[in-house]
Structures are given as structure tokens and as C-alpha cells.
Amino acid sequence: MENQQMIDLIRQELPGIMQRHREIREWLIQLTRTRYADKEETESRFDRILEELRLDREANMRKWEGQDRKWEEQNRKWEEQNRKWEEQNRKWEANQKTINDILAAIQTQAREHRSSIGALGARWGLYSEQSFRNGLKAILEESFGVEVLNINEYDEAGEVFGHPDQVELDIIIRDGILILCEIKSSISKSDMYTFEKKTAFYEKRHLRKATRKLVISPMVDERALQAAQKLGIEVYTHADEVKPVNP
């Protein structure tokens, strides 16, 4: 019998033989054990693989849970820091508002003080001028027979100020002598030129030349002094000295 025929015969008869003869079946299993794992070994290997997968899964879960706890803790820290920053910002805003309110109150008070001081200075200047004028008038008229006048005339043509306005001058008259005076708490360069226009206005209107032109003030700007020298105006200031007239 040829080998192929024998192989075909074994394939045909072997399944029935294994069913009928236990010893043949066990002999074949033992013979082929080295070629494949039996059911128990296969199940054991499968169980080990499943166990390893389970252990790996649990280890990974523990890692993820630990990482989640770290993230949660970090989030709590960030949230706490954010709350602190928000609280600090609220305090800062409140402090800034308080500071701004204080500064606004100080500025308002400063403006009020400046206005009050300015008004007080203006009133003091006017009162000082009037007091000096009254004193000068009383002394000259009662003790020396000099006529002292304070005139206030309307300049329709605007020769003095560039537009129609009142023109005020102090005048001293004695024995044909005409002295025109400007009595002010302070004199600037423009004030000096305005006084010169006042004197020209008076001389033109009354057809009379002033003998002397005087400015009396405790505060005279240096540029006003230079203008007075050019205009021939005598200046009496805090030093009690008369600036000579240069004709």
C-alpha cells in the first residue's frame, strides 16, 4: 500500500477510532501535547493575560486618579489665587476711589481757597488804594491847601482801552500846578502805558498839560519801571524813591 493511501485511510478511520478507543485518544493527545496547549493550559494562559490586563488597567486607573487629584488640587490653588487677586483688586479699586475722592476734595478746596485768596487780594488791593487815596486827600487838602480830585470820565471814542469805557484818574491841583496820579496796589508794563493814555486823554479833553505824572504803588514790575523812564512818569514804590524823569 502506498503512503498516500495509508494517509487517506488514517484520516478516514482515525476520528472513529478515537471515539471508540479511549486509549488511542489519550495516546494521540499525549503524542501531540508538545505541538499545542491543552484546554487547561490555554485557559490558564488566557486567565493570566486577563489578569495582567486587569492589573495594568487598575494601575493606569490609579495613575489617572492620582493625576486627577493633582489637577483638582492645582485648580483649587488657582481658584484660591484668583479669589485673592479679585479681593486684592477690589481693595485696590476701593483705595483708588478713596484716594481719587480725597484728591478731588483737595483740588476743590484748593480752587475755593485760590478763589477766596484771589478775591481777598483783589479786595485788599482796592481797599488799600482807596485808603491811601483818602489819606492823601485828607493830608494835602487839610494841611497844605491842595485840591485832590478823583475823576471818572467816559471815553466815548475808546482812546484809552480801545473801546468806550470809564477812565479814572487822581488829580492834584495847587497854584496852577496839575499833577496826574495813578494809585494802584501793583503796576505792570501794560498798566504804565495805560496810565500814559489816560493822561493824554485828560489833557486832550481839558486842553491842559500835566505838570507832573506820578505812579504810586508798592509793587512795580521792572519792565514797568523801564517804560516809565521812556514815558517821563515818576514812580514811587516800596523803596520810597522817585524815578527821575528823562525829558
Q: Domain coordinates of the chain in residue numbers?
A: 146-236
| Matching CATH number, 146-236, of 3.40.1350.10, 3.90.76.10, 3.40.50.1370, 3.90.1150.10 | 3.40.1350.10
Residue 110 pLDDT: 65
Residue 232 pLDDT: 94
User: What angle separates helix 189-206 from helix 222-231, to the nearest 10 degrees?
Assistant: 30
Residue 241 pLDDT: 46
Helices (H), the chain: 3-20, 22-32, 39-144, 189-206, 222-231
Residue 228 pLDDT: 94
Amino acid at residue number 81: Q
Q: Is the per-residue pLDDT at 97 higher than 70?
A: yes
Residue 214 pLDDT: 92
Residue-wise pLDDT for 5-52, tens only, equals 777 777 777 777 777 877 877 777 776 666 655 566 666 776 778 778
